[in-house]
Structure 1
Amino acid sequence: MNKKMVMILVFITAVISSSFGSAYAAVNLEPINAFFNRGVSFVLKGDLWQPKDESGNPLTAIHYEGSNYLPVRALAEALKIQIDYDAASQKIYIGGKPGEKTPIFAMPMEIDNIYAILSKDPKETLVKNKKFQEVLKIDQYGDVIFTIDRKYKRLVLDAAVISPGEHEVDFALYNASDSAGNAALTVLDKQTVSPEDNVKRLIYNVEGLEKVKIHVQSPNLNPYIYARLLDTSFFDNGDPTAKDSLNETKTK
């Protein structure tokens, strides 16, 4: 391809891009009279806060018709709220995209007990006659802590008690945030799985939490519980169009 042809293609591309940008602006953008308000400052949870853009540069509030405005991303990240932008649909999602799931074993996690072990052993990932890729096996009792940074509304936990377990097992949710104080000792939600259950789906509300802990133990403190957390478990922001079912794996 000669230089002249390259220049023609570059010119055509520039014209198309410019036309598209102009068409978009004509339909969706409207000019306003606004001012940078350099006199306003921000206090976030008791501390002076300087909003910044994605490159770390300080942002100044924009004053328009009696109100001060900041980019939504700066506020969402300061408040530890997940934010996503879909350029194709021109949608800004605050609090995460509905229906989007993050598997629990893909999350930052801490396992707080020698009896709780992640395993991909084929002998241990066969649970209730169904094959899984990975499980967290808890053979006496244990804690698992997830760092979620207020990005999710739900923890959808798939759990089972396998043979030779003979006792019901409690799966209790706690607030494990460093700032939780005495509240960290309070059970937020507790659900139970019995050996007679198939794989059981447990749904917890984790909205607004930075860290959560799942404590797994038999209510009668029996040391041999043989519990499993499965890799089909996930965090999400809810999906109003979906049914919370495990199909063939859910307890009938």
Structure 2
Amino acid sequence: MKMVKIALFVVAIVASSFGSAYAAVNLEPINAFFNKGVSFVLKGDLWQPKDESGKPLTPIFYNGNNYLPVRAVAEALKIPIDYDADSQTIFIGGKPGEKRPIFATPMEIDNIYVTQSKDPNETMVKGKQFEEVLKIDQYGDVEFTIDRKFKRLLLDAAVISPGEHEVEFSLYNSGTAAGSAASTVLEKHTISPEDGIKQLTFNVEGLEKIKIHVQSPNLNPYIYARILDTSYFDNGNSAAKDSSK
């Protein structure tokens, strides 16, 4: 029997009515079939592709190939996917050049040990004035929901006076599917009071939600750490190293 090849069928959900000029140029009718006999195994487990509403999907069989909507496959593989209706472009793996400041990202803080501040006296860090900072004077957690849209977190941070100790910034996966892995440190970077403002680069590719835990490695009670509003998420090279500003 001839082996059936598997392909991905890029399906973009657009307006219900296409312009006649667009349809004439870009849409070509085909004769195809729903293949209800095929099944899928994803990473060793039986997998049922579903649409955004949770309805099961049946692959389309055409010209010797089975086709599935690319969104269903991308979601299953934890790959970000975006669609730009204006350019009729589907982005798989994140939009090139996309960048989002941390304060424009859905964020959760504990409001006891971590606080947001726009007070000019508190946003002056190492002689430079910022508009907004996260204050962590003892220790604390900050969580960001990024929905697998970014590859990197570039975190600008510093230890200010009277901080005397090194401070660790640790990355955790805090997504709902993390399970026991939520307690595993994915990356850890350290800042000293003498470092000035330092940029820490974390690889967040494939993660829906992350947690940054900030504390002294020696559990010293007061660290006076600041996370700055110049921090951002992007889709740059996740292999980049820390760099001092």
Per-residue Cα deviation, 1:179-205 (whole angstroms, up to 9, x for no partner):
434332222111111112221110011
Change (3 A) 1:90 1:20: closer
Task: Give the corresponding residue for 1:35.
Answer: 33
What does residue 13 of structure 1 align with? Answer: none
**Structure 2 residue corresponding to 1:69, chosen from 62, 67, 70:** 67
Per the alignment, residue 160 of structure 2 pairs with: 162
SS of equivalent residue, structure 1 residue 187: coil
Indicate the larger mover: 109-118 or 157-166.
109-118
Structure 1 counterpart of 2:244: 251
Q: Is residue 51–residue 75 contact of structure 1 (8 Å, CA) maintained in 2? A: no
Q: Hey, what's the Cα distance between the residues in 1 that align with 2:126 and 2:237?
A: 27
Report the 3-state secondary structure (helix = DSSP H, G, I; strand = E; otherwise coil) of the residue aligned with 1:182: helix
Query: What is the CA distance between 1:71 and its match in structure 2?
Result: 1.9
1:205 aligns with 2:198: no
Kindly provide the CA deviation profile for residues 217-239 of structure 1, in whole angstroms up to 9, marking residues without a partner as x. 11222211110111111122216
Scaled by the length of structure 2, what TM-score is found?
A: 0.77
Amino acid at match of 2:48: W
Q: In the alignment, which of 93, 99, 102 is matched to residue 101 of structure 1?
A: 99
Query: 1:161: how far off?
Result: 0.8
Counterpart CA distance in 1 for 2:119 and 2:60 is: 57
Report the TM-score when normalising by structure 1: 0.76
Partner in structure 2 of residue 225 of structure 1: 223
**Contact 1:98/1:237 (CA < 8 Å) preserved in 2?**
yes
d(CA) in 2 for partners of 1:47, 1:146: 31
> In the alignment, what sits opposite 1:141?
139
C-alpha distance in 1, partners of 2:186/2:174? 11
Matched residue, 1:126: 124
Give % identity.
Answer: 72
SS at match of 2:181: helix
Secondary structure at 1:70 match in 2: strand
Shift of 1:143: 1.1
Determine the C-alpha separation between the residues in 2 that align with 1:47 and 1:95. Answer: 24
Q: Which has the larger radius of gyration?
A: 1
Residues 179 and 136 (structure 1 numbering): CA distance in 2 closer, same or farther, change over 3 Å?
same
Partners of 1:182 and 1:18 lie apart in 2 by 53
- Deviation for aligned residue 1:65: 2.9
Partner Cα distance (1:161, 1:251) in 2: 13
Q: Identify if the C-alpha distance between structure 1 residues 178 and 91 changes in structure 2 by more than 3 Å, giving closer, same or farther.
A: closer
Q: How many residues align?
A: 225
1:215 alignment partner AA? H
Q: Say if 1:170 and 1:218, in contact at 8 Å, map to a contact too.
A: yes
The question of whether the paired residues in 2 share the 8 Å contact of 1:140 and 1:226 is answered with yes
The residue correspondences of 1:51-70 to structure 2 (distance < 5 A) are: 51-52=50-51, 59-70=57-68
Alignment-derived partner of residue 189 in structure 2: 191
1:109–1:144 contact (8 Å) kept in structure 2: yes
* Aligned counterpart in structure 2 of residue 92 of structure 1, from 73, 90, 93: 90
Partners of 1:150 and 1:97 lie apart in 2 by 11
More helix by share: 1
8 Å CA contact 1:113–1:143 kept in 2: the answer is: no
CA contact (8 A) 1:41 1:50 kept: no
Gaps of at least 5 residues in structure 2 are: 1-18
Match of 1:8 in 2: none
